[in-house]
Structure 1
Amino acid sequence: MITYLPLRISKPLGFLLTITTYLLQGCSQKQSAETAKPPVSDFMYQYSIIDALLAGVFDGNLTLGQLKTKGDFGIGTFNRVDGELIVDQGNVYKIRYDGSIQEVPDTDSTSIAFVKFFKADSTFIIKNITLDELEKKLLAVLPANEMYAIRMKGHFEKLTSRAPGAARKPYPSLKDHLAKQQHLFNLSNTDGVVAGFLLPGYIAKVNVPGFHFHYLANDHKSGGHIFDFTATELTVEIDKIQGYTVELNTHADFDKVGLEKDRQEELKKIE
């Protein structure tokens, strides 16, 4: 069952969600070249690339204070892959390997993160749905070549997530690290927020194609990288991304790693 809230069209290319068809399509208007140019705030900012993390580049020089100037919403991890990172409403939280949550000081650093200034183009409510069902519905209506930031808030009957423990040097690949340091959480009857992205396949090697979500409970007592959920009611907000900028990892390890290997199968196993 889907109940639609009043649609917010904040950009010339917005979304229209119809009750009968789930059709979500862009609305275009004639504009001058000046007004047609999307604002920088409508771009996703990315620090480092996913293949570097997969290959074991677990440190970076970007502080969280600097990250917050690039966006108020997003996901990532910390140096040494010390937990899962979620940015919501301008605050940065760490979900640790033991399931605890802490708000992180601006002086801490990240090895990879993806953020933007979130402003929903469309909002709807959906009830009694699994993550897999929701993803299929969104894929059926969202153009495959576009990029989207997705924020969801509601009640989850069940939710499975993970958070990694910190790595020690010499760093292994991410797959090998998670094989030993991935901690799973099976949550029940939890209320919270989901932050993440839906990105197209052509960004492989740079970011994670498809859906990528992190969770933060309202009571700040649980969260993590999401594997699955069953939600009784969700408010879903979708923000279409007009483009993205990538800042290469500035840590010395980035220049030493080989990035020629195709790591997509590794990525599928850990995502």
Structure 2
Amino acid sequence: MQTKPGVKRAFFYSIVSLTLLTGQSCTTKEDAQPDTRSTTDFLYQYSIITALLAGVFDGNLTFGELKKHGDFGVGTFNRVDGELVINEGKQYRIRSNGSVSEVADHDSTSLAFVKFFKADSSFTVQTAGMTLDQLQKMIAATLPINEIYAIRIKGTFSKLTTRAPAPAQKPYPTLNDHLAKSQVIFNLTNTTGVAVGFLVPTYMEKVNVPGFHFHFLADDRKSGGHVYDFTATQVTVEIDRTKGYYVELNTNTDFGKVTL
């Protein structure tokens, strides 16, 4: 169908006028911009807890890559060779011999939970003799039960019990069998430091560690590990509510061989 030149101009002017009046314009697929919403307030995790429990002890994600997803968190290493603590952007390994060292970027993890930490609330408790269980109940009582929180506890501890596992040898057993034979318990006294970790709802139990999960690092960088219990004289608790979580699946071939 042909249109007269005057009709074409009228149609063009109508479109321009509509655009100016509404402040909007037509957008094609080619013009569409990618979703740039930030994931910095989300929990990122590499692999899932049920894979580690089943004996998937190796992963392909380096700690250099992990830094891109968070400056705070917990996890472990290939072969379950120690406990991971990430605080204020620095990554530490606590080995079964009790040593603490910074992690090399080229090392790899089989399981890690991290985020960029920014506290939404904080409080201080000065009560000699407060146990880990008592503090956890105090924290949980103030929070909705179905959300995910990153939690940092700084304080002075009269007693603190941690553990770290020795590296596993192939063929890998289940995690529980490995820990029963290889974990080393540390009973620390009169120490100061930071416990970092998460509070995760029970509906995530196939993916993450449900409930509270903390790893400790002493201020003098001479001790730490997965936290079993403590008695504190003074603590400051910082809580960072997350908006959600996302998972990167383990790309090691062992991940595809287990039934989860």
1:258 Cα deviation (Å)? 1.2
- Cα distance per residue 1:57-108 (max 9 Å; x no partner): 0000000000000000000000000000010111110000011100011000
1:40 Cα deviation (Å)? 1.1
Q: TM-score, normalised by structure 1?
A: 0.81
SS of 1:42 mapped into structure 2: coil
Residues 38, 242 of structure 1: 8 Å contact kept? no
Q: How far apart, CA to CA, are the structure 1 residues paired with 2:202 and 2:79? A: 27
Q: CA RMSD in A?
A: 1.0
Map 1:56-135 to 2 at 5 A.
56-128=55-127, 129-135=130-136
Match in the other structure for 1:144: 145
Amino acid across the alignment from 1:257: V
Q: How far apart, CA to CA, are the structure 1 residues paired with 2:236 and 2:138? A: 15
Q: How far apart, CA to CA, are the structure 2 residues paired with 1:127 and 1:84? A: 28
Q: How far apart, CA to CA, are the structure 1 residues paired with 2:77 and 2:242? A: 24
SS of 1:41 mapped into structure 2: coil
1:138 Cα deviation (Å)? 1.4
More strand per residue: 1
| Most deviating of 137-146 and 216-225 | 137-146
- Cα distance per residue 1:25-70 (max 9 Å; x no partner): xxxxxxxxxxxx9731000100000000000000000000000000
Amino acid across the alignment from 1:151: R
SS of 1:163 mapped into structure 2: strand
Q: TM-score, normalised by structure 2?
A: 0.85
Unaligned 5+ segments in structure 2 are 1-35
- Cα distance per residue 1:190-242 (max 9 Å; x no partner): 01011000000110110011000000001110000000001111111000011
Match in the other structure for 2:39: 40
- Cα distance per residue 1:125-164 (max 9 Å; x no partner): 0122210101111121110001100001111110000000
Deviating above 4 A after TM superposition, structure 1's stretches of 4 or more consecutive aligned residues are none
Map 1:1-271 to 2 at 5 A.
39-128=38-127, 129-259=130-260
Q: How far apart, CA to CA, are the structure 1 residues paired with 2:39 and 2:258? A: 31
Determine what percentage of the aligned residue pairs are the same residue.
66
- Cα distance per residue 1:241-267 (max 9 Å; x no partner): 1100000001000000111xxxxxxxx
Amino acid across the alignment from 1:113: A
